[in-house]
Amino acid sequence: MTGSPFVLSPAPARVDVVRERVRLRPLEDAGVDAMMVVYRGDPDVCRFLPFEPQSPDDIRERIGHLFGGTSLEGERGGLVVAIERLDDGAVVGDLVLFHLDPASGTAEIGWVVNPAAAGRGLATEAVRALIDTAFSVYGLRRLVARIDPDNVRSVALAERLGMRREAHLVESGWFKDRWSDEVDYAVLAREWTPIA
């Protein structure tokens, strides 16, 4: 068997994507305090995330190595961007591409959004912009989102985006003092219709 036919496109120097109401921009250390106060320090937001409510130092320790980076390659590679609302410049969440499988051209996509920004379509617009970027800029072939099925907002977001539900893993891991299920959603580049 020969090597994979997948070849990752070179990482851009900077990721800055503007859509109708949101901008995806590099996450920077200067914005960490606001992230903690607005959403990453909120127990309800962190309920389904693989961490407890975070302090600014917790955020820096967990994802600080990704600040300003654009390469998905390597053990600590990944892209993290802030979701900035265009009308007032407020950061309402952040998105990540990580866990690249270079042989298959697959990466995981994740999102954390302030519940106060829910119901306006901002998360859908932002995640759609990152999926567009993953396929058109990075040349990825496949994206996967791993979600706790009790996280109904994230499940609904994946489905609104047209991601396919590929698996439901029952009690697949011990998570926050309980056996937790996981649902996996995915989309292929050939299935995706980018925004013009």
The answer to whether the CB of 4 falls within 8 A of the CB of 100 is: no
d(CA 48, CA 23): 25
Q: Which two tokens stand for residue 116?
A: 């106060």
| CATH class of residue range 17-191 | alpha beta
The contacts of residue 59 (CB under 8 Å, 6+ apart) are 32, 35, 36, 40
pTM score, two decimals?
0.93
Answer yes or no: is pLDDT of 50 > 90: no
Answer yes or no: is pLDDT of 118 > 70: yes
The answer to whether the CB of 45 falls within 8 A of the CB of 112 is: yes
d(CA 119, CA 44): 17
- The structural domains of the chain, with segments of one domain joined by +, span 17-191
What's the pLDDT score for residue 196?
A: 62
CA separation, residue 192 to residues 45, 130, 161 (Å):
28, 12, 9
Question: pLDDT tens digits, residue range 58-98?
Answer: 899 999 999 999 999 998 899 999 999 999 999 999 999 99
